[in-house]
Amino acid sequence: METNTRTDRSLRRRHLLAGVGGVGLSLTAGCLATLPTTRRGVRYGEVSLPAAEPPAFRQWIPDEVDAASPPGGLSIDFQQPGARGERTMGAPFDDRRIKQRMNHVGIDFEDFEYVVVVGRTAVGSGPFDRTTVEETLDTIGYEHDATEGGFDYYRRQFTPARTETVAVGEDEVLFAPTREAIAEVADTAAGERPQRAETVEAFARLTEELESLPVVTLGHGHRAEAERTVLASGSGYIFDEEYAYQVLTDVYREEEDVSRRDYERRLEDAPIALIADRIDIRTDGRVLTAIIQHDHESFNDLLGPFFSYPLVTWGLEYDDELTITHQSGDRVEAALFTLLDTRRGTNADQQLTDLGETISAGDSLTVTIEDLDDWSLRLDGTVPGTETTWTEFNVSNEWFDR
């Protein structure tokens, strides 16, 4: 699954977040007055985060990444599927960036204790039935490739240049395009190569601030901000019965770069701050953290609507016709999806709705190809009630020829 759109919602979200980058305040120091005060509509006060179990996602993040890193640098996403606010918010926090790195291999997303994406590699952790996973891998076309470092590696190949790899361990399943990408991450967790938190002090400080939250996104590289340099930045989220909490943290190059007052000035006209219930800004050396407390309604308005994206393994076969098969995963409403003929700029003649109201494992659609030398098809989904779309896959004659 890929994300491919720049919707009105996403543009609005970027506008709301504008001016909040470069924050850095610590969760352990610098509390403000308990009672909120107001400066130009921004309410400041102490915010107490709900208790959370600290995960161990840092163990999977290598000090240097080669095969696992996509173009544009390394990004890291972490979620605990069972703690993403679904019970209090009505739907779980956005999971599309994580699910686009995974396939369904007999384990539902919600059954993982946590999932962390390190560049191109996704790690799903939690007890599972290994026999079910192995049987599913066989059904959807993966073949056993190797046993190494406590993992069984499986591989499926669409074309000579296009492969997918899954590694199955005792309590983890790893997904990536190549075995090399998985090995970088797996070797780090096994202690065979250094963790980034052990070698990059700024990254260690950043993850100390955020690692106890059930939803975390970490950025990549340095960012210039006026005369200051942010070495590491990230955000996290946690939820309780009353509020949704957004935590924004930056680690600066030098302690003197940290200016709480500068940050407050940036917040004065920022929509994200003006609609917040309360903001707690804290500093600890060269770390700045803003804890932003939202009521559920304003949080949904800011970052929603939330939607649990389907996790489906698709099979694609081409021989003068394209056969699309739902091989494993969530039963989905066919009307969510549109198959586009991107060469003609129109909808394809065949659609998943031809199969019925819902589609599930085993359902197949055969698509007629008019020009065998020049065709391209893309399967898009649309979040119900919105214009937000995502891409499940994109294939063409060139895709199969490589």
Q: What is the pLDDT along the chain (402 residues), one digit of tens a residue?
A: 544 443 333 333 333 333 344 333 322 223 333 334 444 478 999 999 998 777 679 999 998 766 555 444 678 999 999 888 888 777 788 888 899 999 999 999 999 999 999 989 999 999 999 999 999 999 999 999 999 989 999 999 887 778 999 999 999 999 999 999 999 999 999 999 999 999 999 999 999 888 789 999 997 555 556 557 888 899 999 999 999 999 999 999 888 778 888 888 888 878 888 889 999 999 998 999 999 999 988 888 877 778 899 999 999 999 889 999 999 999 999 999 999 999 999 999 999 999 999 999 999 999 999 888 899 999 999 999 888 899 999 999 888 886
Q: Which two tokens stand for residue 317?
A: 């076969």
Q: What is the pLDDT of residue 287?
A: 93
Residues 113 and 187 in one domain: yes
Q: How many CA atoms lie within 13 A of 151 on its CB side?
A: 25
The residue out of 248, 282, 304 marking a domain boundary is 304
Q: What is the pLDDT of residue 152?
A: 96
Measured between alpha carbons, how far is residue 232 from residues 140, 196, 207 in Å?
39, 12, 9
- What is the 8-class DSSP label of residue 353? G
- What is the 8-class DSSP label of residue 62? B
Residues 300 and 338 in one domain: no
Q: Which residues of 101-131 are buried (b: 16+ CB within 10 A; e: fewer)?
A: bbbbbbbebeebbbbbbbbbbbbbbbebeee
Measured between alpha carbons, how far is residue 15 from residues 4, 168, 209 in Å?
19, 41, 25
Q: Is residue 297 part of a domain?
A: yes
Q: What is the pLDDT of residue 227?
A: 58
Q: Is residue 8 part of a domain?
A: no
Q: How many CA atoms lie within 13 A of 109 on its CB side?
A: 27
From 165, 175, 195, 59, select the one nearest 119 (Cα to Cα): 175
Q: What is the pLDDT of residue 332?
A: 96
Q: What is the C-alpha R_g of the chain?
A: 22
Q: Which two tokens stand for residue 10?
A: 């996403």
Residues 154 and 257 in one domain: yes
Q: Is residue 2 part of a domain?
A: no
Q: Is residue 286 part of a domain?
A: yes
| Residues 201, 173: Cα–Cα separation, whole Å | 29
Residues 240 and 346 in one domain: no
Residues 64 and 34 in one domain: yes
| Residues 67, 48: Cα–Cα separation, whole Å | 40
Helix (H) or strand (E) holding 205: helix 201-210
CA 109 to chain centre: 13
- Helix, strand or coil for residue 339? strand
Q: What is the pLDDT of residue 39?
A: 45
Cβ-Cβ contacts under 8 Å for 201 (sequence gap 6 or more): none
Q: At what angle do helices 296-303 and 8-17 cross, to 10 degrees?
A: 120
Total number of domains constituting the chain: 2
The residue out of 269, 288, 304 marking a domain boundary is 304
Residues 91 and 129 in one domain: yes
Q: Is residue 272 part of a domain?
A: yes
Residues 288 and 371 in one domain: no
Instruction: Work out the number of other CB atoms within 10 angstroms of the CB of residue 364.
Output: 13
| Residues 94, 400: Cα–Cα separation, whole Å | 32
Helix (H) or strand (E) holding 92: none
Q: What is the pLDDT of residue 221?
A: 52
Q: Which residues of 216-243 are buried (b: 16+ CB within 10 A; e: fewer)?
A: bbbbeeeeebeebebbbbbbbbbbeeeb
The residue out of 246, 275, 304 marking a domain boundary is 304
| Residues 215, 115: Cα–Cα separation, whole Å | 10
Residues 49 and 171 in one domain: yes
Residues 299 and 316 in one domain: no
Q: Is residue 366 part of a domain?
A: yes
Residues 385 and 329 in one domain: yes
Q: Is residue 4 part of a domain?
A: no
Q: Is residue 217 part of a domain?
A: yes
Q: What is the pLDDT of residue 377?
A: 95
Residues 238 and 131 in one domain: yes
Residues 200 and 232 in one domain: yes
Q: Which domain holds residue 115?
A: 22-304
